[in-house]
Amino acid sequence: MRIELTALHPGINELDIVLDKSLIDPEMAPLAQNGRLKLTVDNQESVLYIKGRVRARVALECARCLKAFRKDLEADIEAIGTLQGHSSLDEESCDEDILVFTQFDTSIDLTHLVTEELSTAMPMAAVCSESCAGLCPMCGINLNKEKCSCSTTGIDPRWEPLLKLKKE
C-alpha cells in the first residue's frame, strides 16, 4: 500500500488505493477482505499533505457468544510526507504523522500508518450486537437462541437430573 511518488502531479491528486488484506497484521486488525484507501494528496514537491479515509471489514468473534461476525471499520488518515532534509516543517508543532522520504524513493509506504489507524478503530470489546445475551456460564447454551433453566436458578446443571427426579 504505497503512494507512488513518480505518479503524482503537482497540486491535488485524488488516489484510490486497494488495501491488500495480507499487508495488515491480523493481531492489529483481522481484515476479512481487501479494504480501500481514498486519499487526497496535495503535492508541494518536497512536502506532501496527505488526507483521507480508510475503509475495511474485519472478521471478529463475539466476546459473549463466540459467534463469528464481521464489522466495517473506518478511520481518518492524516499525514505529511516530507523530503529528507527539508527543514520548513517543525515536527513538534505538528499533530500529523510525518513520513520522511528521500530523493531516491519512488514511493511512500503507508502500511504502518494505516495499520495503526485501523487498530485504533477496532472495538474495545467485540460483541455481535449490543443486546447479545451471550452463553450461559453454567451450561454453555447460547442464550440468544435457547433458554436454559440454570441461568435463573443458578443451580449447577449437573444437579438438574436429580432435581427432575425429585419433582417426579
Please report, as ranges, the residues that interact with Zn ion according to CB under 5 A.
Answer: 62, 64-65, 67, 128, 132, 136, 138-139, 141, 148, 150-151
Q: Report the C-alpha gap between 142 and 125 in whole angstroms.
A: 18
- Closest approach of Cβ 63 to Zn ion, in Å? 8
Nearer to Zn ion, 47 or 127 (CB): 127
Nearer to Zn ion, 54 or 128 (CB): 128
Nearer to Zn ion, 51 or 67 (CB): 67
- Closest approach of Cβ 132 to Zn ion, in Å? 3
Nearer to Zn ion, 114 or 143 (CB): 143
- Closest approach of Cβ 70 to Zn ion, in Å? 13
The residue assigned the cell 461476525 is 69
- Closest approach of Cβ 123 to Zn ion, in Å? 12
